[in-house]
Amino acid sequence: MSTKTDQQDQAGHRDGGVTALLDATLDRLAQRRGEDGEVSLGTLLDELDERAFGLLLLVLALPCCIPLLWGIPQIVALPMLAIAFQIARGREHPWLPEALRQRRFAVSGMHGVVRRAQRYLGWAERLARPRLNRLTEGVGLRIVGFLLLIPTASILVPLPSTNTAPGIGVAIASVGLLERDGLLVLLGLLFGLAWVMLLVFLGAEAIAFAKGLVFGTP
């Protein structure tokens, strides 16, 4: 990546945080493909270069943060699982199977998603600063990757309420990883995991209630 591009990315990071950095990346892709063109996940992965783990996970989580958005969350859930698994394995650079690398999205659509998601992540970007770095490197990072598998698996389920809250949790954790902010990582994980646990509890209660109606058991 050129020095000029690095300077633009660093300026965008200072001015608006990681979502501004994503906007700058999408702008570069739009200049080459056109705003209405499509790019593959593989192209985006290559464009993100050494920041690919955190930024790619954030890019994939952003559509999941939008309430009542169907289809896209389930498309990005499998790549998110792959990325979380690789973080848990301790890989230094992300890898996606060719079938996932070839999944395509419209640049203009992703631009809109990033800008809409800023309302959910703006506070996290403003508060982020390096702290609790044991959660963003080494063994701590691998544990974080393992825990991220749970909310990302929830996003894969095509049912109401299974993607928005876990997506927000993963996005917050991703911002924390990018900013080396272990506290944000922890908050994102707690939010996503708590929501999944709530869904599991309510699902179990609903099953027990239905069995009671059918079989007449208390």
pLDDT tens digits along 48-74: 665 677 878 888 888 777 766 666 676
Q: What was the pLDDT predicted at 203?
A: 60
**Number of domains present in the structure of the chain:** 1
pLDDT tier for residue 9 given thresholds of 50, 70 and 90: very low
pLDDT of residue 154: 84
Predicted pLDDT at 142: 92
Q: How far apart are CA 128 and CA 149, in angstroms?
A: 23
Q: CB–CB of 149/85 below 8 Å?
A: yes
State percent of the chain over pLDDT 70: 73
Q: What is the pLDDT, as a whole number, of residue 185?
A: 92
Is 124 exposed, middle or buried, given 0-12, 13-18 or 19+ CB atoms closer than 10 A? Answer: buried
Give the model's pLDDT for residue 146: 93
Q: Which long-range contacts (CB under 8 A, 24 or more apart) does 85-90 make?
A: 85/145, 85/149, 86/53, 86/145, 87/53, 87/57, 87/141, 87/142, 87/144, 87/145, 87/148, 88/142, 88/143, 88/145, 88/146, 88/148, 88/149, 89/142, 89/145, 90/141, 90/142
For residue 147, name the pLDDT band (cuts at 50, 70, 90). very high
CA 94 to CA 155: how far, in whole Å?
Answer: 20
Query: Alpha-carbon distance 192 to 194, whole Å?
Result: 6
- Summarised one tens digit per residue, pLDDT across range 88-113 is 998 877 887 888 788 787 777 777 77
- The band of 206, judged by pLDDT with boundaries at 50, 70 and 90, is low
The mean pLDDT of 74-85, rounded to a whole number, is: 83
The whole-number pLDDT of residue 13 equals 43
CB 173, CB 148: distance < 8 Å: yes
Range of the domain at 23: 3-215
As a whole number of angstroms, the distance between CA 49 and CA 164 comes to 28
Mean of per-residue pLDDT scores for the chain: 76
Phi, psi of 105 (to 5 degrees): -145, 155
Q: Could you tell me how many helices (H) and strands (E) the chain has, helices first?
A: 10, 2
User: 140 Cβ partners below 8 Å, 6+ apart?
Assistant: 134, 182
CB distance 150 to 189 below 8 Å:
no
Residue 45: both structure tokens together = 């992965």
For residues 181-197, average pLDDT: 90
Query: What confidence category does residue 216 fall into, taking pLDDT thresholds of 50, 70 and 90?
Result: low
pLDDT score of 122 more than 80: no
- For residues 1-9, give the mean pLDDT: 40
